[in-house]
Amino acid sequence: MELHEIRYFLALSEVLNFTRAAEACNVTQPALTRAIKSLEDKLGGVLIHRERGNTHLTELGRMMRPYFQEMFTRMEEAKRRARSFAKLSEARLTVGVMCTIGPSKMIDLFGEFTARNPGVELYLRDGAAGSLEEMLVKGELDVAIYCKPDAPSDALHALPLFGERFVIAVAESHPLARLSEIRLADLDGQSYLSRINCEFRDVIAEIRESRGIAIRRPYASERDDWIQCMVLAGLGFTLIPEFAVTVPGLVMRPLVDPVVEREVNLITVRGRPHAPAVGAFVHECRRYPWLTKMREGPSMAVAAA
């Protein structure tokens, strides 16, 4: 059944006059009559009895009318939602954000995006880099923001957003706080509070082990905020990206031997047709003043409250 046939039937069932129904539908009377006949052929029964001065619905017509009305209403609503979706007046965007990315450099991005696109519902999901990549490929995420030590696969496209150094974070009372910069050798024998979701953890461990540097591991957690609170309590040091530090009072010192940096990217799937909301978010990421935001980053001194 064609949508216009259903629309013509509903109009005719309201006025019970072929001429007036055709005028309401802005078509000729023969065109409306043909559409009704086509609908009847498809249903295998007569919908309208056309008698002089007594055009009325048949039993089949009365039975089908509420079904046709529901079908037409749902189709019109679907068309309206589709138009709203295309115009970003009613859409949802699911963004995966790596759990080790600090919020300080992302909040303004999300705020500006929602201000420019008030009809888009922004839904954030956090997770480790590998988990986000898997969800992105499966279509559970529209876009993802993360980084990995190795380059993304050819199936993915990476738009660089910002880079940041890894630093050593300690309490102000910790002996390492007296150093202006820290070499990996300075960590020998120290207590390391391990951030389990750190995407560079294995890379740095290989370097440390190759140099024969031994550390103690009294505590490990998937939660960066817990690790930072333990560090602040003086229970050890942690290695963390500089913009991921969120707990006031931590002392950050640059790791200089080796220097470890990461590049955070906006990841999309190559060749996948994207909704308008995805395009709008990519555009927002491109225009966002990342360099300016990076210059506003934390110093290596004691972080102020």
Apex 120 CA angle, 119 and 121, nearest 5: 115
- Whether residue 284 is predicted with pLDDT greater than 60 in this model: the reply is yes
Distance CA 271, CA 72 (A): 35
- Whether residue 151 is predicted with pLDDT greater than 90 in this model: the reply is no
Distance CA 267, CA 253 (A): 30
- The mean pLDDT value for 39-65 works out to 87
Burial (CB count within 10 angstroms: exposed 0-12, middle 13-18, buried 19+), residue 291: exposed
Beta strands in the chain (DSSP E): 48-49, 56-57, 91-98, 120-127, 143-146, 156-170, 182-183, 191-195, 216-221, 238-241, 251-257, 261-269
Please report the pLDDT score of residue 303 as a whole number: 42
Report the percent of the chain where pLDDT is more than 90: 65
Q: What is the pTM of this model?
A: 0.70
- Whether residue 305 is predicted with pLDDT greater than 70 in this model: the reply is no
Please report the pLDDT score of residue 292 as a whole number: 78
- The mean pLDDT value for 26-31 works out to 92
Confidence of residue 269 (pLDDT cuts 50, 70, 90): very high
Please report the pLDDT score of residue 273 as a whole number: 85
Residue 180 contacts by C-beta under 8 Å, 6 or more apart in sequence?
253, 300
- Whether residue 277 is predicted with pLDDT greater than 50 in this model: the reply is yes
- Whether residue 298 is predicted with pLDDT greater than 70 in this model: the reply is no
Confidence of residue 100 (pLDDT cuts 50, 70, 90): very high
Q: What is the per-residue pLDDT across 204-262, written as a single tens digit (0 to 9) for each?
A: 999 999 999 999 999 999 999 999 999 999 999 999 999 999 999 999 999 999 999 99
Q: What is the per-residue pLDDT across 183-199, written as a single tens digit (0 to 9) for each?
A: 999 999 999 999 999 99
Q: Which domains does the chain have, with CATH numbers?
A: 3-86 (1.10.10.10), 91-162+262-295 (3.40.190.10), 165-261 (3.40.190.10)
Candidate from 50-54, 76-80, 209-213, 296-300 with smallest mean pLDDT = 296-300
Confidence of residue 125 (pLDDT cuts 50, 70, 90): very high
Q: Which residue has the higher pLDDT, 90 or 283?
A: 283
74: left (phi > 0), else alpha (psi -120 to 50), else beta? alpha
53: left (phi > 0), else alpha (psi -120 to 50), else beta? left
- Whether residue 296 is predicted with pLDDT greater than 90 in this model: the reply is no
- Going from the C-alpha of 54 to that of each of 51, 66, 240, the distances in angstroms are 5, 22, 83
Please report the pLDDT score of residue 74 as a whole number: 84
Q: What is the per-residue pLDDT across 1-12, written as a single tens digit (0 to 9) for each?
A: 788 898 899 999
- Whether residue 301 is predicted with pLDDT greater than 60 in this model: the reply is no
Q: What is the per-residue pLDDT across 61-79, written as a single tens digit (0 to 9) for each?
A: 899 899 888 888 888 777 7
